[in-house]
Amino acid sequence: MSQAPDLYKGGFAGLLRRQEKRQRRFDGVEDILPPDDVDLAPYFERMLPAPPMDFEQAERYSARRKWLELQHEFQGQSEILHLHAMLIAISRRDDPPACAIILFHRIWAEHGAQLAEVLPVRWMISAATSFSDIGQTGDQRACGMALSIMFDMIKLHDSERRISGKPTRTPFQPETGRKRFPLAFNMDPYSFKGGDLDKIMLARIWQLCERDAVIRPLGFAMLRGIMTEPRSIFGRVQDIKSQGKTS
DSSP state of 185: G
Span 133-157, mean pLDDT?
A: 96
Q: What angle do CA 74, 77, 81 make, to 5 degrees?
A: 65
Residue 5 CB coordination number (10 Å): 8
pLDDT in tens, 122-132: 999 999 999 99
Mean pLDDT calculated for residue range 175-188: 85
pLDDT score for 23: 85
Mean pLDDT value across residues 146-175: 91
Query: In terms of pLDDT, which residue wins out, 25 or 105?
Result: 105
Question: By CB neighbour count within 10 A (0-12 exposed, 13-18 middle, 19+ buried), where does 29 fall?
Answer: buried
Say whether pLDDT at 223 is over 60.
yes
pLDDT for position 245: 60
167 pLDDT higher than 80: yes
**CA distances from residue 233 to 39, 127, 147, 155, 237 in whole angstroms, order as listed:** 41, 22, 15, 10, 6
Handedness of CA 230, 216, 130, 120 (dihedral sign): positive
Query: Which segments of 163-215 does DSSP mark as H helices, in order?
Result: 197-210
**Helix or strand (DSSP H, E) at 232:** none
Residue 212 DSSP label: -
Is pLDDT at 39 greater than 70 in this prediction? yes
